[in-house]
Structure 1
């Protein structure tokens, strides 16, 4: 027989079957239906939104609680740690592809389809017959002037403020990581609370931006291709920031409970990876959606 340490390094932990993924799917579906109904004025009421938020947050915290318990009771071996690192890496890669598809849709609409609709490079003047008077300028609300005239959100206003907030949060979580590796738990916790506060501030300002866009700028999901791509990209990013802020809060509470060690803290690192990914995506959004 080998030594206990060798046996532990070869053991692979398999969690018990769980209903959390399916229940979380239900909560997120209710949230998406509720928000879509609100934006589309379909009068579904606020119940799906609050039901989705409450159910999702409850499940996420309970799910994280179970994972934390498994980690703190020594269920994870070195092999499990490597698996988590690979899993998180592939998850972030899939998220890159996810946003890459949306950035691709924006590029296609702005750089390929819009010039074609305006007659650029067209051998037949079908665009004149189908959409007379259409101007191939960006931002566009479509050939039929869908949703009416609208105004865009200036890049160097709330979007710039949110950019500064997210970049600052990237700095604070990095400082928290250095403090954790140095064994300075109190400093790590303070840096993490600062990161949580910055994430919550970003969400507050984005919500205020959406309200301003809908009620004062007439920039809605009905504002043609610009409105749909704008809310698709910034909205999905906002969902990722929301999930990231919840994860930051969980990690902070775990730090306060004495979890994580200077040389063993992948739960912290995984969230930090995710948060840096969210920062990078926002920089792309700020440049492509708001600025250019």
Structure 2
């Protein structure tokens, strides 16, 4: 649900989990469901911004310059281990995510629509990595963890992978043009003022929590409402309810929070804080919607 909602909200997704749980497989599976272009980047310390955005090549045989686009010019861009790239390269990607355009040699090139970045990050093995700063994490609409599978699911995985790759069985279910129309429908989903204020109240409450050093930004309010509209559309409704806002509040808000060291020492994390905010912020009544 989170991944599809982020796609329809025209956002970007950060998948943060330990190695081997299927982060990249999730991103590749999503890309295969869309009959569009797919770019994949394996982030390494020596990756340069031009390796992402492309570069201008001088053609010696006719004396002209030709722009050769990089993997960022795709409908779905899979970024493996984004925290292994240098801050300069990370910034180049995040600028494209925010502005939906890339500037190469002084010329601005528009990125395709829809445009979704699914980046993976390993939070455990930190040697030789450049963790995303809070300002850059804020560019991602949501952050999710895949988690370990159950014993039965892991057994099924072993059996299915003995002879084939499950990704080979995935067929596209939509194309770029149809997906664009879906996104336009999501933008038109109605959100009452009371629901908008509820989303704002949730975001502001994270800034006032005593266990939080840095709360969610105004960008989080925008992204939370966009995702809530997508959840409403996926539920077959033309209007947003407070339940839609609550449903993905943790994936949208938790990764943006900087928790105080004392709270972390007591075992409280960002998701716990978002759960507490959801519990204490008043929900709009039906009359106020």
TM-score of the two chains, using structure 1 as the length reference: 0.22
Higher strand share: 2
Higher helix share: 1
Q: Which structure has the greater CA radius of gyration?
A: 1
Q: Which has the higher contact order (CA 8 A, sep 6+)?
A: 2
